[in-house]
Amino acid sequence: MPKREFDCGKRIFLKKCLAFSAGVVTLPGHTVLNSIGYEEISGNWRLAMFQEGTPRGVMCMICPNECVLKEGEISQCNNRIVRDSKLYSMAFGNPCSVAIDPVEKKPLYHFLPGSRAFSIATAGCNLACLNCQNWTISQISPTKTRNYDLMPDRVVEEAIKNSCRSIAYTYSEPVSFYEYVYETALLAKKAGVKNILKSNGYINPEPLKKMCTVADAANIDLKSFNESTYIRLSGGKLQTVLDTLKIYKDSGVWLEITHLIIPTWTDKLDEIAGMCKWLSENGFKDTPLHFSRFHPMHKLEQLPPTPVELLKSAAKIATGEGIKYVYVGNVPGNEQSDTKCPYCGTELIIRQGYRVALNNITGGKCIKCEKEINGIWS
């Protein structure tokens, strides 16, 4: 099935995207990989970065899965394949989801508030979360989605054309389309457009450090503070994500953290307290922490939504551990989505949904007490 040309001039597609609450358009699938020849899809193939030959096959070294693949085999993230003893990414210039989002949707509350992010995703993810809200694109290959023809230079061009101050690599997992992200981010940086990663943080240190040279901001999902739960819920490992948080911070990338509280899975207050204590003791007191409400979906449809009182209790624990900026998300009309000065309590940013209704931060400081408010404000 041919790729669709992305026509931003008419704005038709983007207007439709803005009508979707998740900012994702999921499109019908098409032919499977084993019926597609190399020549037919080679335009969206790129030699994968961070690969190494082993006696058992080619190892992908982007993430801790470290898939070892023989000829024709596909990686766990559904995005990498071995051809002629070399590893290729099949996700390059072929996003299946494109939208213009408020940056607050990522969520990023301390990074260019009120601005717009040109948001893209290809199919695929290196984890398999039971609660994934975008599982229809994250758990399949780019060969099974209808894709847009949007090479890196076009992504940057469209971001600028649509007055987007940033490009967000989001919806699925940017680690799985690493090469596409990296090349696009390089061009964006040269053009003065910021780069945002909405990620699970499941990546090896060397590729992450390279990505940090072009990234400006990231929101990382810290899915649990229990190693066993992490494996059972997502297929990943907690320690890897904790190491990722430290690397982002040490690299100077603006960081915010999201913790989704899922009933019976990640709703234990003692574990939440342990997580907040670790964040506080490891230099993340100034890092915004978002507690997000779970809504039943994917393989956890049988569970109830997270009680709002539980979210508030978690926020109180975080504040008690000295974390300065604590938010509650996915709760309409919730006042804990506003930013208050941690020193004098002045309301600095008032949000109505994803819209900034008031911004009292001037020059990066509180308008009243003039103390510095951590973030990237201009």
Least confident of 35-44, 237-246, 342-351: 35-44
pLDDT at 42: 56
Q: Is residue 126 part of a domain?
A: yes
Q: In this structure, what CATH number is given to the domain that contains residue 179?
A: 3.20.20.70
pLDDT at 30: 29
Q: Is residue 36 part of a domain?
A: no
Q: pLDDT of 352-369, one tens digit each? A: 999 999 999 999 999 999
User: How would you class 3 by CB atoms within 10 Å of its CB: exposed for 0-12, middle for 13-18, buried for 19 or more?
Assistant: middle
Q: Is residue 258 part of a domain?
A: yes
Q: Is residue 306 part of a domain?
A: yes
Q: Which two tokens stand for residue 351?
A: 């949000």
Range of the domain at 120: 97-366
Q: Is residue 271 part of a domain?
A: yes
**Which of helix, strand or coil describes residue 46?**
strand
Q: Inform me whether the pLDDT recorded for 32 exceeds 70.
A: no
Q: Inform me whether the pLDDT recorded for 26 exceeds 70.
A: no
Q: Inform me whether the pLDDT recorded for 113 exceeds 60.
A: yes
Q: Give the mean pLDDT of the chain.
A: 91
Q: How far apart are CA 125 and CA 217, in angstroms?
A: 20
Residue 335's pLDDT band, with cuts at 50, 70 and 90, is confident
pLDDT at 16: 43
Q: Cβ neighbours of residue 27 under 8 Å, at least 6 residues apart?
A: 96, 145, 146
Q: Inform me whether the pLDDT recorded for 220 exceeds 70.
A: yes
pLDDT at 333: 78
Mean pLDDT value across residues 245-255? 98
Q: Is residue 253 part of a domain?
A: yes
Give the amino acid at 77: C
pLDDT at 132: 97
Q: Inform me whether the pLDDT recorded for 161 exceeds 90.
A: yes
Mean pLDDT value across residues 246-260? 98
The distance of Cα 317 from the centroid of its chain, to the nearest Å, equals 25
Exposure string (b/e) for 59-85, b if CB count within 10 Å is 16 or more?
Answer: ebbbbebebbbeeeebbbbbbbbbeee
Reported pTM = 0.90
Q: Is residue 83 part of a domain?
A: no
Q: pLDDT of 262-277, one tens digit each? A: 999 999 999 999 999 9
- CA distances (Å), 166 to each of 261, 271, 286, in order? 28, 34, 22
Nearest residue to 117 via CA among 129, 99, 140: 99
Contact 17, 98 (CB under 8 A): yes
Nearest residue to 43 via CA among 84, 86, 93: 93
The total domain count for the chain is 1
- 5 vs 41, residue with greater confidence: 5
- CA distances (Å), 271 to each of 68, 267, 303, 326, in order? 34, 8, 20, 17
Contact 170, 60 (CB under 8 A): no
Mean pLDDT value across residues 222-239? 98
In the chain, pLDDT over 70 holds for what percent of residues?
A: 89
Q: Is residue 42 part of a domain?
A: no
Q: Cβ neighbours of residue 101 under 8 Å, at least 6 residues apart?
A: 18, 23, 116, 117, 119, 168, 170, 354
Residue 3's pLDDT band, with cuts at 50, 70 and 90, is low
pLDDT at 6: 54
Task: Give residue for tokens 């003039």.
Answer: 370
